[in-house]
Each structure stands twice: as C-alpha cells, then as structure tokens.
Amino acid sequence: MKRILITGALGQIGSELTLKLREIYGADNVIATDIKKNDSEAAQSGPFEVLDVTDLNRMGEVAQKYKVDTVMHLAALLSATAEARPLFAWNLNMGGLLNALETAKEMKAQFFTPSSIGAFGPTTPKDDTPQDTIMRPTTMYGVNKVAGELLADYYFQKFGVDTRGLRFPGLISYVTPPGGGTTDYAVEIYYEAVKNGRYTSYIDKGTYMDMMYMPDALQAIVDLMEADSTKLIHRNSFNVSAMSFDPEEIAASIAKYIPGFKISYQVDPVRQKIAESWPNSIDSTAAKEEWGFKFDYDLDKMTMDMIEKLRPNMQMRIPG
C-alpha cells in the first residue's frame, strides 16, 4: 500500500495532487505537508503536518510517524520570485530538495520532484527542444532545476533511490493560482477575462512557451510513478508538454467564449527576459515512448473548462 508524503501540498500543484492521490490511494495514505495550514480541502481532507522543508529532522520525524514509502517533493520558489531573491531561492530550493532526497533514502521510498522547462537556457535549441541537450539556464530557478535533476539522478545511481521527475511547462489551473512564476500570465488572463473582459499581459506578444492544463499534469505524475522502472531510460527529468502558445493565441481562444475580450500589453522586462531564455516548444517523445505520456487538453478545450469553472465563483464576487 502506498503511503505518500507530499511537501508543498498547499501550492498550485500540491493542492490538486493531494486530492487526486487521496482518491486513488485512500485519504489516510496521503500525508499533506506545508509551511502552514489553511482551510483548503487539501489541508482538511486527510492527514496534514506543518513542515518547513529546510528542517531535515522534522521531515524525518513526519516520514517515520507515517512510515511513508513515497516522497513527492513540490515545495519550491518559482522563477520570478527566485530571480528576485536568488540566495533565499538557492537555500530553499536546493536545501529542501536535498532533505527530501535524504528522507527518501532513509525510508527506502520512491521519489518525485518536478523540474521545468526553466532548466533550459538561451543556448538550448528553441524549437522541439530535445530530451537530451544543452542546459545552461541563466536564472537562479533554472540553475536550481538543472542541479536538482543531476542530484536526483545521483541519488538513483549512488543510493538506488527510485527517483523520477518531469520537466513541466507552465501549468494552468483554477483551484490554487500559482505565485511568483513567469508563466502565471496564462492563469491570470482567465481570471481577468471572466471578471473584467480584458487583460493586460506582462509577457509580450510573440513570446511562445510550453503549457499544460493541470489535470494532464497530475495524470502525468501518477502515470510516471506507476510506470515499470525497467522501461525507464531517463529519470530526471522527462520533457512533457501539451501545447505552446503566445499571449495573442490564448487571447484569441478566450475571445471565442467571451466575445469582446481584449488583451493589451505592459511588458515586465524581468519576466520577459526569463521567458525569452526558455524554449518555444519542447519534444516529449521520450516520455511517450518510455511510459506512455499523453494529454487530453488542447488550448480551446482548456479555455472552455477554465471559463466554465471560474464563471460561477466570479459571478458570486461581482456585487449587485
């Protein structure tokens, strides 16, 4: 029986992954942890522990208390925040990852952590970015992700920890908005479109980035972790993507369902520079061949679902 410890369980991925894993493996077998508790379903629907991932002893205590056999390490700062606070980002992102890997080693547990298209840099081939290629990121977040991939591979090769990872594109969701990312514009635009019928983008037109709807990202995590390890040639981490678009294309998709929707631009030079250092589109062939990666949502199907899910809440918010 799987007993799963999730760090960063109240974040953008964690808040939905916790619920999905509780559905599959049983609520009591998924231990959600985060730096503080809140009243979200992820925090209230099963075991929850307060955990600062930079505290190795506390992480070991929680892992032993629940006798976990799987560690899913999600707690990290995203690209824009990491760029604003590089030293703090290094300590949290790398210190937390090392503690999670050590905990998985001690517990003889399987291990997952997300990497990102942010692990690539300006010298990486930009179109159909290969699984194995040049990785010289120019952001602290990217340095953390490349170092993290190498560290997770090291724990597999040196200590036999069953580590697995995914290079996620921008993830779009309506449950818990992301914080401090570069691709967050592709989430904010839906909220603003439903609320106000317009959005001012901090990413410029013509800036293509890989993206994926959260349901596909969650299924990819489950499928990778359940995959036959003898079939894995790669481990940390697999390129996965569902689509690539620029602000104009997501705006056009939204305008099909919210007539009159308008996008304008006020480019943020910091996040624009980060976005331009990343690929336009990545190649997911290795994930498809080694463990059957697939996705359900393209841009229009995602747009329909996002608007349908956001509209009721937003209407409740507009007074009168």
The residues assigned a catalytic role are 141
E-strand ranges in 176-278 read 198-201, 209-213, 238-239, 243-245, 262-265
Q: Does 117 bind ligand VAH (CB under 6 A)?
A: yes
Q: Does 78 bind ligand VAH (CB under 6 A)?
A: yes
- The least distance separating ligand VAH from the CB of residue 164, rounded to whole angstroms, comes to 17
CB 165 within 8 A of CB 238: yes
Q: Which two tokens stand for residue 45?
A: 């629907």
- Other C-beta atoms lying within 10 Å of the C-beta of residue 230: 5
CB 47 within 8 A of CB 31: yes
Q: Does 113 bind ligand VAH (CB under 6 A)?
A: no
For ligand VAH, which is the closer residue by CB, 70 or 79? 79
Task: Return the residue of 181, 201, 279, 306 that touches ligand VAH, per CB under 6 A.
Answer: 181
> Where do we find the tokens 């760029």?
83
How many angstroms separate the CA atoms of 235 and 35, rounded?
Answer: 28
What does DSSP assign to residue 7?
A: E
Transcribe 244-269 into DSSP letters. Answer: EE-HHHHHHHHHHHSTT-EEEE---H
Binders of ligand VAH in range 120-159 (CB under 6 A): 141
For ligand VAH, which is the closer residue by CB, 48 or 112? 112
- The least distance separating ligand VAH from the CB of residue 319, rounded to whole angstroms, comes to 32
For ligand VAH, which is the closer residue by CB, 46 or 247? 247
Q: Does 279 bind ligand VAH (CB under 6 A)?
A: no
Q: Does 221 bind ligand VAH (CB under 6 A)?
A: no
How many angstroms separate the CA atoms of 6 and 22, rounded?
Answer: 11
- Other C-beta atoms lying within 10 Å of the C-beta of residue 15: 24
In this structure, what are the phi and psi dihedrals at residue 164, rounded to the nearest 5 degrees?
A: -145, 150
For ligand VAH, which is the closer residue by CB, 8 or 178? 178
Q: Closest residue to ligand VAH, Cβ-based?
A: 181
For ligand VAH, which is the closer residue by CB, 183 or 281? 183
3-state secondary structure at position 158: helix
Q: Which stretch binds ligand VAH (CB under 6 A): 47-55, 113-121, 250-258, 280-288?
A: 113-121
Binding mask 33-52 toward ligand VAH (x if CB under 6 A, else -) reads: --------------------
Task: Return the residue of 163, 183, 244, 253 that touches ligand VAH, per CB under 6 A.
Answer: 183
Q: Does 169 bind ligand VAH (CB under 6 A)?
A: yes
Task: Return the residue of 40, 131, 182, 236 that touches ligand VAH, per CB under 6 A.
Answer: 182
- CA count, 13 A, side-chain hemisphere, 126: 10
Strand pairing partners for 171? 212
Q: Does 119 bind ligand VAH (CB under 6 A)?
A: no
Exposure string over 192-209, b if 16+ CB within 10 A, otherwise e = bbbbeeebebbbbeebbb
The count of chain residues that interact with ligand VAH, using the rule CB under 6 A, is: 12
For ligand VAH, which is the closer residue by CB, 29 or 93? 93
Q: Does 178 bind ligand VAH (CB under 6 A)?
A: yes
Residues near ligand VAH (CB under 6 A) are 78-79, 116-118, 141, 169-170, 178, 181-183
